[in-house]
Homo-oligomer: A and B are copies of this chain.
Amino acid sequence: MNRTQVAKDETGGLIAADKVEGTEVYNRAGEHIGEIDNIMIDKLSGKVAYAVMSFGGFLGIGERYHPVPWSMLKYDTGQGGYVVDLDKKVLTDAPNYEPNRVPDYADRAWGKKLHDYYGVAPYWY
């Protein structure tokens, strides 16, 4: 089975969703922030709206999900992960939820607030 090979594929400007999932996230100071658990796609435009970062917790206890606007993430080949240019505290305090309390991602008011927190334009603009 060569599923792994396909999954890890990253050629030039394209990246497999499977590869994004599980990728570590750091901040500019090199601090480990969390890892990407999943990505949320806007069905209509086909654009990636959020990278959902898992943050903290141990063996699933105390784990929180932090949806981060996709535009915030830059891949850093040196670091071997994504870099978000924010203090750890800003990310810790960002809108987040428990694994079993998934917010209404379709709620534009919720989405607007989230993007405002990070200071970036919403993906639907």
The interface of chain A, by Cβ under 8 A from chain B, is 1-3, 5-7, 9, 11-18, 20-21, 37-50, 52, 60, 65, 70-71, 75, 99-100, 102, 104-107, 123
Known: A5-B99, A6-B99, A46-B70. A38 touches B18 (CB 8 A): yes
- Interface residue from B12, B14, B38 paired with A16 (Cβ < 8 Å): B38
CA of A47 to CA of B13 in the docked complex: distance in angstroms?
11
CA of A44 to CA of B73 in the docked complex: distance in angstroms?
11
| Neighbouring B residues of A15 by C-beta, 8 Å | 40-41, 43
User: Once the chains bind, are A47 and B46 in contact (CB under 8 Å)?
Assistant: yes
| Residue among A13, A60, A105 facing the most chain B CB atoms (10 A cut-off) | A13
Shortest A82–chain B CB gap in Å is 11
Shortest A15–chain B CB gap in Å is 5
| Residue among A1, A43, A60, A70 facing the most chain B CB atoms (10 A cut-off) | A43
| Neighbouring B residues of A11 by C-beta, 8 Å | 102, 104-106
Known: A37-B6, A65-B6. A14 touches B102 (CB 8 A): no
